[in-house]
Amino acid sequence: MPAVPIPDRLSQTAVYRILVLSLVGVAVGTGASLAAIGFVEALTALNDLLLISPYARIQYETQPGLVTAATVLVPGLGGLLVGLLVRYGVAERRGLAPPDTIYAVQTRTRPPSLKSGLASTAAALVSLGAGASVGQYGPLVHMGAMLGNLAARLKLGVRNLQPVALACGVAAAISTAFNAPIAGLVFAHEVILRHYSLRAFAPVTVASATGYVFANVIFDRPALFLVSFEGVPHAYEFALFAAVGIASALLACAFMALVLWAGRQAARTPLPQPLRPMAAGLALGLFALQVPEVLGVGQETLRFATIDGAFQPGELALLVAAKLAATVLCVAFGFVGGVFSPALLIGILFGALCGTLVPLVPLPIESSGVVVYAIRGMMAVTSPVIGAPLTTILIVFELTRNYDLTIAAMVAVVFSNLVAYRIFGRSLFDAQLKARGFDLSLGRDKAILESRRVIDYLSRAATVLPPSASVRELLAELARTDRAEAAVVDADGRYRGTVQLQDATSVAGDRPVGDLAERTPVIFDPDTSVWAAIQALPGYLGEAVPLVDTDGRFLGVVPEEAVIRAYLDATNELRTEENEAA
């Protein structure tokens, strides 16, 4: 059977798209990787300069007064600068984070402006540089997305370029941060895109690989930590991994719930928003006089947690509680940063605590050592927080290159996510989006329809009459416009009701239509979502639904056909995106 020839135009278009998407992947991956490396280097320099890092504090141990003053004042003054940056530089009046990228990708809306993104990035750098207990990976993700958005704004003639470009930036940032290109690729699909279409998979893979090349080959960035593990010799330990995974899920749920609760409480405080980070910084500094490990990202503490005997059980328990409390305080009161890094540290400390307690159990069992429990705890706590079980498993494998350790972590991650999903939901990011009115737990199609407003489908092609118009005039106007109903609107523009043709045919012709007007059982307002409209329409009898503003003024009507079309458009867009090849 002869091959079916492919039209030249089609093949040229496909080649052009492949070329453009590949170049976007390389360009965005390069920019995001360099930006991530620069951010981390600047953060390290600030921590050393401001006496936040353990190395710098050791250098000045002969001047305890200086170290004490820096511990208290640097987070406080840093918080004040953060509050001013957010108040006057970020239009959203809050730090920008992965939920903003997820929302932009899922709703096809423009992400926050470049000005807001740069101000938020600067605020994150100041927050982390001044020792706030927040994470660096959230800001890196937003930086990558910000660079991806710059590429998406170019007129390149490729459909649906924005979500792909944003995902490229995110993948490159994660790949660079963890030296983990596969994890970066999967994170972009698992958390940001929420699908695995080939059209997005190819450029995102290119971007993630580009980030890895810059981080691991060109700049030779050090690994997050190095561990040595020879395997799990006892089969019964996998039951322990599952049990500790469940315990980690409970810890992760407590962490996420506290972040949300503290955020609501902070919003109710009488303290002006720009001063809240300063107050949190001063409290953090005073706390750090007793527990200095709560300052900053805590990479040194994270590395020590994998070493047998580095911490005693009591110290580990204290550090878990202290880091959790410090992170909740800093995030809730306005420091800019992520929750990824704190979750890693809380998890690895909790896992190490479990590993130190196993030998103390009065049963004839042996332990494989602290390291396997520490890594397992790190990923079992982090995975529910960011909603990325596959990513966390791959991070373990790419960081350690150890198959046995990855399997052990996988068991804990699976049980942790099963429990956390039932108790809390998919992730902290999704919970934050839900608080803003975008509920991804409904499914991508329903969440998108929740974000779209019926006012976008408003029609002014409606028959409108004043209350004083006669039934005779109504019948004549309906016959002229070929409609079966009319809206009655008074002289102030307020909606009085709707008159149906069948209700007017048996009424005296000189009777005012105002006497017949009845408010329809369904009325939309400018904030009504397309999803809410779909839920309200079953059983509705009428040609169109009136749309009125908060003052009751009639704006127009939304035909049933327009609501159905909006639903079909959204679902078709999603199916096309998820199944596109190039």
- pLDDT band at residue 443 under the 50/70/90 scheme: confident
Whether residue 71 is predicted with pLDDT greater than 70 in this model: the reply is yes
Whether residue 1 is predicted with pLDDT greater than 50 in this model: the reply is no
Print the domain residue range for 513.
Answer: 449-570
397 lies in the same domain as 265: yes
Query: What pLDDT score does 200 carry?
Result: 87
Whether residue 5 is predicted with pLDDT greater than 60 in this model: the reply is no
Among 412, 445, 478, the domain-final residue is 445
* Residue 131 · residue 288 · CB < 8 Å: yes
Identify the helix (H) or strand (E) that includes residue 69. Answer: helix 64-89
Q: Tell me whether residue 12 is in a domain.
A: no
Q: Tell me whether residue 578 is in a domain.
A: no
Whether residue 6 is predicted with pLDDT greater than 70 in this model: the reply is no
What's the token pair of residue 473?
A: 């005039």
Which pTM does this prediction carry?
0.85
Torsion sign across C-alpha atoms 59, 63, 68, 71? negative
503 lies in the same domain as 423: no
Among 218, 252, 269, the domain-final residue is 218
Identify the helix (H) or strand (E) that includes residue 113. Answer: none
Whether residue 297 is predicted with pLDDT greater than 50 in this model: the reply is yes
Beta-carbon contacts of 421 under 8 Å, excluding residues fewer than 6 positions away, are 384
Mean pLDDT for the stretch of residues 346-363: 87
Condensed to tens digits (0 to 9), the pLDDT of residues 534-573 reads 888 887 878 889 999 988 899 999 988 888 888 888 888 7
Q: Tell me whether residue 320 is in a domain.
A: yes
- pLDDT band at residue 500 under the 50/70/90 scheme: confident
438 lies in the same domain as 460: no
Query: What pLDDT score does 439 carry?
Result: 84
Is 7 or 402 the better-scoring residue by pLDDT?
402
Among 381, 410, 445, the domain-final residue is 445
Query: Running DSSP on this structure, what letter comes out for residue 157?
Result: -
Mean pLDDT for the stretch of residues 432-448: 84
Mean pLDDT for the stretch of residues 108-116: 91
Condensed to tens digits (0 to 9), the pLDDT of residues 172-195 reads 999 998 889 999 999 999 999 988
244 lies in the same domain as 178: no
> Total structural domains in the chain?
3
324 lies in the same domain as 381: yes
How many whole angstroms separate alpha carbon 213 and alpha carbon 239?
38
Q: Tell me whether residue 575 is in a domain.
A: no
Torsion of CA 173, 174, 177, 180, to 10 degrees: -130
Condensed to tens digits (0 to 9), the pLDDT of residues 230-288 reads 777 777 888 888 999 999 999 999 999 999 999 999 999 999 988 999 999 999 999 99
Torsion of CA 62, 66, 71, 72, to 10 degrees: 150
Mean pLDDT for the stretch of residues 374-387: 93
Is 70 or 402 the better-scoring residue by pLDDT?
70
326 lies in the same domain as 200: no
In percent, how much of the chain has pLDDT > 90? 55
243 lies in the same domain as 271: yes
Query: What pLDDT score does 570 carry?
Result: 81
Mean pLDDT, the chain, as a whole number? 89
Q: Tell me whether residue 83 is in a domain.
A: yes
460 lies in the same domain as 511: yes
- pLDDT band at residue 582 under the 50/70/90 scheme: low
358 lies in the same domain as 283: yes
Stated length of the chain: 582
Mean pLDDT for the stretch of residues 127-155: 94
Beta pairing partners, 558:
545
With b meaning 16 or more CB within 10 Å and e meaning fewer, what string describes 443-482? ebebbbbbbbbbbebbeeebbbbebebbbebbbebbeeee
What's the token pair of residue 294?
A: 């709560």
Is 441 or 52 the better-scoring residue by pLDDT?
52
Residue 492 sits in a domain of what CATH number? 3.10.580.10
Q: Closest Cα to residue 185, out of 430, 385, 169, 199?
A: 169
Residue 272 sits in a domain of what CATH number? 1.10.3080.10
| DSSP annotation string for 15-41 | HHHHHHHHHHHHHHHHHHHHHHHHHHH
Q: Tell me whether residue 34 is in a domain.
A: yes
Q: Tell me whether residue 576 is in a domain.
A: no
Q: For residue 266, give the 3-state DSSP assignment.
A: helix
73 lies in the same domain as 207: yes
42 lies in the same domain as 99: yes
Residue 32 CA to chain centroid, in angstroms?
18
In percent, how much of the chain has pLDDT > 70? 96
181 lies in the same domain as 292: no
Q: Tell me whether residue 7 is in a domain.
A: no
Residue recorded with tokens 């059980």? 313
